[in-house]
Amino acid sequence: MGYLVNIVRNTINNVDELPELDFGNNILDGIKAFILIFIYYIIPFIITLLVATLTGGLFAGIEILSVAFGAIENNVADLQTYLFNTIPQSTFETLFISIVITLIVGIILFIVFSIFSSIAFARFSKYESLSEGLNFGEVFNDIKTIGTGKVISWLILLIIVIIVIGLIVGILNLVPYIGIVLGFLLGQSLLEIIFYRSLGLLYREA
């Protein structure tokens, strides 16, 4: 991951060549980048978990699992019928509604924080400072400077590119042995270079 930090940094600094490997700095940058991404994604995870709890889905799921495990231990023959006869219908309804709400909230949060974490990654790469990447106010200002519409367009275009490369890799995987290896190596490397190179180009406008 540290090497990818260098790709973004070089791109921001108008250096078009791929950076050389520097294991010491790459490892250090990689650790910092991992911490940065972890912090940004732990926030939506916690919020999503809170939504699941507040909507009752977490407790409903625990109740259903508890009854199911008890039935399995008692060697109940028809588990599905046993669950529907033992657990109130309202519990299943609560679980279903909670799952729908939690999924919607989770997807929205994932998209929002993916944008924030990407720009934060670029900011961290540019200034070589973890604290700069974690400066939420400045990250938000960077997004406004670049343009929210432009950032969203970049993300959508990136998703399309990922789908296309995924299809190509899927075709390569049809070739026994060598195709699978090539698909993994080329697909993974190409995706990473495209993503972080495009991120650097995007952040030039910040």
pLDDT at 40: 93
Give the ranges where the chain is alpha helix by DSSP (H). Answer: 2-12, 23-54, 57-73, 79-86, 89-127, 130-133, 136-146, 148-172, 178-203
pLDDT at 112: 92
Give the span between the Cα atoms of 52 and 96, in whole angstroms.
11
Give the span between the Cα atoms of 54 and 159, in whole angstroms.
32
What is the residue extent of each domain of the chain? Answer: 1-146
- Backbone region of residue 20 per phi and psi (left: phi > 0; alpha: psi in -120 to 50; beta: other values): beta
Nearest one of 66, 63, 56 to 102, comparing CA atoms: 56
Express the helix, strand and coil content of the chain in percent, nearest 5 each: 85, 0, 15
Residue with tokens 């791929």, as numbered in its chain: 18
8 Å CB contact between 7 and 19? yes
pLDDT at 77: 78
Give the span between the Cα atoms of 20 and 60, in whole angstroms.
53
What pTM does this model have?
A: 0.81
pLDDT at 124: 93
pLDDT at 86: 86
pLDDT at 106: 93
- Mean pLDDT in runs of 10 for the chain (206 residues)? 84 81 83 93 93 92 89 81 86 93 94 93 91 92 91 89 81 72 72 87 84
Note the pLDDT tens digit of each residue in 131-186: 999 999 999 999 999 998 999 999 899 888 888 887 877 777 777 777 677 777 77
